[in-house]
Amino acid sequence: MSDTLHTFALIGAGPMGLAAAKLLQQHGIEFQGFEVNSNVGGLWDIEAHRSTMYDSAHLISSKRMTEFADFPMSDQAAEYPSHHQMREYFRDFADHFDLHRHYKFNTEITSCEPLGDDGDGWRVTWRDKDGDHNSVFAGVLIANGTLSEPNMPAFKGSFDGELIHASEYRSATLFSGKRVLVVGAGNSGCDIAVDAIHHGVSCDLSMRRGYHFVPKYVFGKPADTLGGLIKLPMAIKRKIDGMILKWFVGDPQKYGFPKPDHKLYESHPIVNSLVLYHAGHGDLKVRPDIDHFEGNTVHFVDGSTADYDIILAATGYKLHYPFIDDKLLNWQGDAPHLFLNAMHPKRDDIFVLGMVEASGLGWQGRHEQAEMVVRYIQGTRAKSMAAIALREEKSAGFTRATGGVNYLKLPRMAYYVDKATYRGAVGKWITALKRAQT
């Protein structure tokens, strides 16, 4: 057998991969990292071949609610940092914790196959400039992100103009002199629509459903820094936050936005004030869902039509782990069904990191997920009682940590959790595993 039999393969050097690398290093667990790009940072490196960043992209959460607790962002960084600042942050993180040395860069994982039952090892195959290689590892930690595989709708008809997905978008100069239609009003869609307003001849925004809008600032402070210290019942939280949104946002329906078909927090809110500003000034026309294309004409479901030169589909992303069979990740519906979004119910040698989303979770919340996994690996090797208890709980059956919130049945919400419920559950296991190691 290969001398990597006690070594884990770690796939990805984005934020989650770096968090895992730091923790594995700190806990003395041998690992080999693999990264398809030439440096760390994942999608935050706009120059990376597979990045989905664009020039105007910024965090939609504030830096203090996003940063790693043991590596705060610079006081000089903007409250909502740009992708350039985020790329430097992750590179500084890797330098500070000496993580580059653990990675093979410009290296693509092509296959991960178990050699047998849990604990028998995994054969991992990768490709670099010298060709294909493989080795046997004790297990695999997947941290290749959730926002790399475009979810492109199958539109009816044929469009004679330019049709692209938001993943291909980089600069607003793309819109110069063009009539623009942005399809999808998520956070990226609203950002890009604002770009198109400033650079295109006109911009329309096609929406299938309405969303709740949250301003970036409330009472002069980042909105996500307010009210997070006290855990309130969801019904009360919705009432209070809904009142604040009415004060600071008003009613988006008067600008043409459709009424949300869900309660606040049942889908990720739109953190963007500029799109409402421009809609209120008549710079943006809100359109319903698309029925079909005909030449340069778009027919909408309400019977209206309009002509465009370019259509940008900001229709999100799909989970994508092309190097491993879905069955090995216990895939159910639109996402792997994993204990606390990370752990296979029957195996202790395959983990997915970062496949978790929650309003306000930040990188620290995801770091805690990685810490739970790393401490569990350490605990299983030591046969600690806490690790045995965790194994029993994850194999007995479980539900997602939704905190009772009825999230929309959408692919992008398939791995969404309630922040307080999730961090509470993860924190419980971190504490138990820590105690078992002392």
Give CA separation, 199 vs 40, 175, 298, 307, 391, in Å: 32, 6, 21, 17, 55
Over the stretch 1-35, which tens digit does the pLDDT of each residue have? 345 689 999 999 999 999 999 999 999 999 999 99
Most confident region among 3-7, 87-91, 394-398 by mean pLDDT: 87-91
Kindly report, as residue ranges, where domains of CATH 3.50.50.60 are found in the chain. 8-148+317-436, 152-313
The residues, ordered by sequence, that sit 6+ positions from 323 with a Cβ below 8 Å of its Cβ are 11, 109, 110, 111, 112
Report d(CA 145, CA 12) in Å as an integer.
8
* pLDDT at res. 230: 63
Half-sphere exposure of 420 (CA within 13 A, CB side): 13
Cβ atoms within 10 Å, residue 71? 18
Average pLDDT over residues 255-260: 94
* pLDDT at res. 1: 38
The alpha carbon of residue 29 and the mean position of all alpha carbons in its chain are separated, in whole angstroms, by 26
Q: What is the dihedral of CA 378, 419, 409, 249, to 10 degrees?
A: -150
Q: What is the dihedral of CA 66, 67, 70, 74, to 10 degrees?
A: -150
Cβ atoms within 10 Å, residue 411? 14
Is the Cβ–Cβ distance between 340 and 422 less than 8 Å?
Answer: yes
The residue behind tokens 């990226």 is 188
Q: What's the pTM?
A: 0.95
Average pLDDT over residues 47-59: 95
Over the stretch 131-168, which tens digit does the pLDDT of each residue have? 999 999 999 999 999 998 999 999 999 999 999 999 99
**% of the chain at pLDDT higher than 70:** 98
Residue 195, pLDDT above cutoff 90: yes
Report d(CA 69, CA 363) in Å as an integer.
9
* pLDDT at res. 60: 96
Average pLDDT over residues 352-366: 96
> What sign has the CA pseudo-torsion 268, 274, 276, 278?
negative
Average pLDDT over residues 264-285: 95
* pLDDT at res. 235: 86
Q: Which CATH architecture has domain 8-148+317-436?
A: 3-Layer(bba) Sandwich (3.50)
Give CA separation, 432 vs 141, 296, 390, 393, 437, in Å: 22, 61, 9, 13, 9
DSSP per position, 318-343: E---TTS-GGGGTEETTEE--BTTTB
* pLDDT at res. 72: 98
Residue 242, phi then psi, degrees to nearest 5 = -65, -40
Over the stretch 214-225, which tens digit does the pLDDT of each residue have? 999 999 999 998
Residue 306, pLDDT above cutoff 90: yes
* pLDDT at res. 396: 94
* pLDDT at res. 231: 73
The residues, ordered by sequence, that sit 6+ positions from 196 with a Cβ below 8 Å of its Cβ are 172, 175, 180, 182, 203, 312
Over the stretch 173-191, which tens digit does the pLDDT of each residue have? 999 999 999 999 999 999 9
- Beta bridge partner(s), residue 311: 163, 181
Cβ atoms within 10 Å, residue 361? 21
* pLDDT at res. 173: 98
* pLDDT at res. 437: 81
**Taking the domain 152-313, which CATH number applies?**
3.50.50.60
The residues, ordered by sequence, that sit 6+ positions from 279 with a Cβ below 8 Å of its Cβ are 252, 255, 256, 257, 286
Report d(CA 357, CA 361) in Å as an integer.
7
